Amino acid sequence: MRPGIDVECREVGLRDGLQIQTTFFATEGKIKWLTDEVGAGMPEVEACSFVPPKLLPQFADAKEVVAAALKTEGSIISALSPNLRGAQDAFAAGIHKLNYVTSVSESHNMANVRQSVDDSVEGFKRIVEARNTIPGAENVTLATGLSTALGCTIEGQVSEDAVMRLAERFVEAGSTELMVADTVGYANPQQVKSMFKKVIAEFGSTVSIAGHFHDTRGLGLANVFAALEAGCIRFDASLAGLGGCPFAPEATGNIVMEDLVFLLEGAGLKTGVNLDKLVAIRETVEKYLPDETLHGMYAKAGPPKGFVPATNFAAAAE
């Protein structure tokens, strides 16, 4: 974790937020968003997915976006890839971190990436091998997301044991970060606290643990606080809650980054993220996605009177 911060936030809007957008978000817009967010102090920005453009035309400019991202300084630039081919492209592009995802529930993994969980784990092993052998890739961090870890739209409840078993397989294979994901917005804070306590007790001393929550049923930030209580200090979110849920058009998807940072900074936890600068980036999203509803309460209501964030930007600038 970057020195001087207590909690590490990752912007996933450019990937998780844009992947369901049918409107192509102009490359220059992505680069402005990303650059401004690095400038706001965001510790990690997931810049794109490395997937075939035929499958997701939104990410046809992945190389260009990553190239621009790597010209910025101070943030981890990551990308997602579901397979070896994409990972190779991502390594070649020079990313700092690769995010790989597998659903804990078998049928969701099949629906999402068209292979069994076993095959996904094998696929990750090939990526580890590629990372270890491709010149220049050896320092890339490999993170694995445990999708549907807190519930599945196809299978319903997902057992903690299943999550722990998949986590163990990924850690053994060489993952150094586990993202426990409430992919479909099913989680309850009580459940989150229990799940994160278990994962952190088992793997927290050897790998990083991150929480990925959706706000589909309104509990996203309650789940963040529950995970914090369990000791989790890494969280995904997207600017303006971009992402949505394809199955519930009116419901938001990812938790809102601005509200997450407000929660953390108000709780006395330094994120290193400047809230004013973060809120200002909404204009870029508005400009390039004029028909999209921007979520987020903090941006609408503004800071409480006398609000003092935990991060001291004046001191940091000296």
Q: What are the catalytic residues?
A: 245
Q: How far is the CB of 166 from a second copy (least distance, A)?
A: 20
Number of residues that bind a second copy (CB under 8 A): 47
Question: Is 252 an interacting residue with respect to a second copy (CB under 8 A)?
Answer: yes
Binding residue (CB under 8 A) for a second copy from 136, 246, 290, 306? 306
Question: Is 305 an interacting residue with respect to a second copy (CB under 8 A)?
Answer: yes
Spell out, one character per residue from 256 to 295, where the chain touches a second copy: x when CB under 8 A holds, - when not: x--x--xx--xxx---------------------------
Q: How far is the CB of 99 from a second copy (least distance, A)?
A: 25
Q: How far is the CB of 105 from a second copy (least distance, A)?
A: 11
Question: Is 218 an interacting residue with respect to a second copy (CB under 8 A)?
Answer: yes
Q: How far is the C-alpha of 159 from the C-alpha of 104, rounded, in Å? A: 9
Q: Give the residue with the Cβ less far from a second copy, 34 or 150.
A: 150
Binding residue (CB under 8 A) for a second copy from 23, 190, 293, 312? 190
Q: How far is the CB of 103 from a second copy (least distance, A)?
A: 14
Q: Which residue has the tokens 């909690």?
A: 7
Q: How far is the CB of 120 from a second copy (least distance, A)?
A: 22
Binding residue (CB under 8 A) for a second copy from 28, 129, 229, 283? 229
Q: Give the residue with the Cβ less far from a second copy, 135 or 246.
A: 246
Asked if 255 and 217 touch (Cβ cutoff 8 Å), the reply is no
Question: Is 196 an interacting residue with respect to a second copy (CB under 8 A)?
Answer: no
Question: Is 186 an interacting residue with respect to a second copy (CB under 8 A)?
Answer: yes
- List of E strands, the chain: 8-11, 44-49, 76-80, 97-103, 141-147, 177-181, 208-212, 234-237
Residues that bind a second copy (CB under 8 A): 151-157, 184-186, 188-191, 215-219, 221-222, 224-226, 229, 245, 248, 250-252, 256, 259, 262-263, 266-268, 296-298, 300-302, 304-307
